[in-house]
Amino acid sequence: MNEHQPFFSVIVPAYKVGRFLPQCLDSILNQTYEDFELIVVDDKSPDSVPDIAKAYLKRDSRIKVIQNKQNLGLLHTRDVGIMAASGKYIVWVDGDDYIDSNHLEFFQTELSKHKVDMLCTGWVRDEKDGIKKPILESMTEGLYEGKTLEEKRGKLFAFNQHGTSRNISPNLWAKVIRKELLDETVGTIPYDLKIGEDAARSYQIMLKITSLLVTQHTGYHYVQHPTQMTKNYHREYFENALGIYVRLRDQSMQTSNPYIFTSAINQNICHITAAALCNECGNSDKEAMWARIKEISDNPEVRKALEDKDAVKAVNWGFQRFLHALKSHSYTRLSFYLWVYRRIIQMGLL
């Protein structure tokens, strides 16, 4: 007798999220749609994650718990989850987030009508002050396949007309993906990547999908916790982020029409270059900061992207100012823009 294949594998990578993990797991187990397996991958977490995972394992036969023998990092941990999954589709939930009770039911209803490779959704951002803010994908809601998908494929990870976000966000937890496509990504992304892990995997898959469903369902809650430090200085930010899009360009060369991705890739390089300049504002060593900025400015991939005027125009207005100054080596002007940015951060306006 063949073992039943669940419709969904819900994968929860867990590291230092012991305070939030019970809410996350309860929200999954309380789903109105029940044909799923829940895979918790404990990445050698030093807090209460292992004990919580073991306790939940006893509560529900749909739960699998995998404990990494050493801390592997998010990318490798996700690979562990993919390899252990047996569902037709994979759903991601971060261990410090949670989902609405009808989240999987909505997915199953849509996927029974449209058997697509990838389904994308909006989400709710639970902010620190208690406000819940719905975030919707920029791409128009609907089914994309065949000619309609090919017409849009080069723009999937390009920026919207306002330059504020990508047409399809990179967030894995805002997607349902056919397992076979995720299988193909296992081991293909460098495990030392510390920033942009979602983009590295989701955009690689977007090169290959043959069907896509975009919805404005908002059943996922991305929780902003007081302990999150999203604006810390990360010395490795630029190389990590740039590497994602250089690899993506290399991967796109294996597609039937690689040049449709050129503009989107240049847009992303422009975006991460401007973001890298903002990131350097957190460097307390100002001499090192300017040496680093000049190093970024001289990077050949950056210079190439800055020559693409449409790519520069695609990012938001503030970032454009940074990029124009960088392109012309106008460091005095750039210094002023960065000073303004620092003041905005200090005032808590970003």
For the stretch 93-149, pLDDT in tens is: 999 999 999 999 999 999 999 999 999 999 999 988 889 999 999 999 999 999 999
Alpha carbons 323 and 311: distance in angstroms, whole number: 11
Long-range contacts of 148-152 (CB under 8 A, 24+ apart): 149/209, 149/210, 149/211, 149/212
Residues 244 and 180 in one domain: no
Give residue for tokens 């503009």: 263
Residue ending a domain, among 167, 189, 223, is 223
Domain hosting residue 259, numbered range: 237-346
Asked if the structure places residue 184 within a domain, the reply is yes
Q: What's the predicted TM-score (pTM) here?
A: 0.91
**Domain presence at residue 2:** no
Determine, yes or no, domain membership for 231: no
Query: Do 82 and 180 reside in the same domain of the chain?
Result: yes
Contact present, 47 and 120 (Cβ < 8 Å): no
CA 156 – CA 194 distance, rounded (Å): 23
Assigned domain for 36 exists: yes
Count of beta carbons in the 10 Å neighbourhood of residue 18: 19
Going by C-alpha positions, the residue among 180, 31, 167 that lies closest to residue 115 is: 180
In a domain, 228, yes or no: no
d(CA 309, CA 170): 24
pLDDT of 9-39, one tens digit each?
A: 999 999 999 999 999 999 999 999 999 999 9
Count of domains observed in the chain: 2
In contact, 159 and 165? CB cutoff 8 Å: yes
Same domain, 69 and 148: yes
109 and 146 together in one domain: yes
Distance from C-alpha of 176 to C-alpha of 128, rounded to nearest angstrom? 27
Domain boundary among 174, 189, 223: 223
Yes or no: say if 269 and 241 are a contact pair by the CB < 8 Å rule. Answer: no
Looking at the predicted structure, is the pLDDT value of residue 280 above 60? yes
Same domain, 199 and 101: yes
DSSP 210-223: SEEEE-----EEEE
